[in-house]
Amino acid sequence: MTSSVSKLALSLMFAVCVSACAHPNYQEASTAPASESKTATCALKYNSQNLCAAYDWETYPTESDMGAFVARFTNPTSGALVDPALSLKVVLWMPSMGHGSSPVTVTRLSTGVYRVDKVFFSMPGTWQIRFQLMQSGAVVEEQIATLQF
């Protein structure tokens, strides 16, 4: 009987391990699906700065290639492009796994327009793009865009 219980326990552990493996669902397209495009609305609202932010993919990342997007900051009333008064930091984070990805590069292109390069999602799943306004190394305000990779 002990042998039967051991075999059953071993079979159950194997079944759990096999069913827990992730099944990759990589994005094949070079651009984000329409549901992940963040333009023409105040998708990310910074109340402390009275700013709206939106982003559009230039190159959507794949399982092997880094991507890039452009973030735009606007005055919610006039729609004019404006720079945040604080510095911008972008963090890629996978909440279900409790880790992020390698750091991205943020480059100011013009007033209110920033390119974010080196966007890489290390595995499939739900990811957050955390747009942080920083002052003296501390996050003053953060807005989060969530996407499925």
pLDDT higher than 90, residue 29 = no
Which residue do the tokens 């880094």 mark?
66
30-44 per-position pLDDT tens digit: 344 443 444 457 889
* Cβ(50)–Cβ(44) below 8 Å: no
User: Count of residues for the chain?
Assistant: 149
> Does the domain spanning 29-148 belong to CATH 2.60.40.10?
yes
| Residue 133, H or E segment | strand 126-135
Q: What is the pTM of this model?
A: 0.72
Q: What is the pLDDT of residue 42?
A: 87
Average pLDDT rounded to a whole number, residues 53-73:
96
The per-residue pLDDT for 40 is: 52
Q: Is the pLDDT of residue 8 over 90?
A: no
Query: What pLDDT is recorded for position 13?
Result: 40
Sign of CA dihedral 66, 72, 128, 92: positive
Whether residue 62 contacts residue 109, with contact meaning beta carbons closer than 8 Å, is answered with no
DSSP state for residue 94 in the 8-state scheme: E
Sorted by sequence, the CB contacts under 8 Å of residue 134 that are 6+ apart come out as 86, 87, 88, 89, 140
Cα–Cα distance between 146 and 133 in angstroms, integer? 18
In this prediction, residue 2 has a pLDDT band, given cuts at 50, 70 and 90, of: low
